[in-house]
Copies of this chain bind each other. A is one copy, B any other.
Amino acid sequence: MEFRLVESSDFTIISPLVNEWWAGRQMADMLPKLFFVHFNNTSFIAEKDGKIVGFLIGFVSQSHSYEGYIHFVGVHPEYRKHHIGKKLYHQFFNAVKENGRNIVRAVTSPVNKVSIAYHIKMGFEIEKGDKEVGGISVVADYDGPNHDRVLFTKKLD
């Protein structure tokens, strides 16, 4: 397994993969090209035998000078027990630290139980929201009407 920074040209390969990896859910709209052009120095690709098997799109916050933000993480369904996600997160954590920052944020949907469990396992804490869904604190309408979100924060050592 090899890890490298995202390049602008990776967009053409990754964009169609995303809907596939999410089993047909329309996810590609969340990943416009701009993320591959303007944030590729904090975004990472995992490759196995020259094939992309995972990626993480993140950036350092422009408004919050101590923070990095993870926008989107995808791992090929056939490679989900290979710790690719964990290694991508650690690549990003290192990039955040190299930028002199020590807080990482991420956001997910309350229905995405796998993502919630994963972030907790990775040491993220859930920020107190304004309501609970299935025992998890969420911010109601965070990403628009009926788009509640779970907000994660992790302090880096």
A33 interfacial contact with B, CB 8 Å? yes
* B-chain residues with CB within 8 Å of residue A124 when the two chains form the complex: none
Contact assessment for B40 and A63 in the assembled complex, using a CB-CB cutoff below 8 Å: yes
Q: Report copies per complex.
A: 2
Contact assessment for A15 and B62 in the assembled complex, using a CB-CB cutoff below 8 Å: no
A143 interfacial contact with B, CB 8 Å? yes
Q: Chain A's interface: helix, strand, loop or mixed, by majority? A: mixed
Which listed residue (B11, B29, B63, B149) contacts A38, Cβ 8 A? B63
Contact assessment for A16 and B145 in the assembled complex, using a CB-CB cutoff below 8 Å: yes
Residues of A26-49 contacting chain B, CB below 8 A: 28-30, 32-34, 37-42
* B-chain residues with CB within 8 Å of residue A60 when the two chains form the complex: 62
CA distance A72 to B17 in the complex (A): 26
A50 interfacial contact with B, CB 8 Å? no
CA distance A28 to B144 in the complex (A): 9
A92 interfacial contact with B, CB 8 Å? no
A142 interfacial contact with B, CB 8 Å? yes
* B-chain residues with CB within 8 Å of residue A149 when the two chains form the complex: 33
CB distance from A24 to the nearest CB of B (A): 16
* B-chain residues with CB within 8 Å of residue A37 when the two chains form the complex: 61, 63-64, 69
A130 interfacial contact with B, CB 8 Å? no
Contact assessment for B12 and A38 in the assembled complex, using a CB-CB cutoff below 8 Å: no
CA distance A40 to B62 in the complex (A): 8
CA distance A114 to B40 in the complex (A): 31
Which of A29, A40, A62 has the largest count of B CB atoms less than 10 A from its CB? Answer: A62
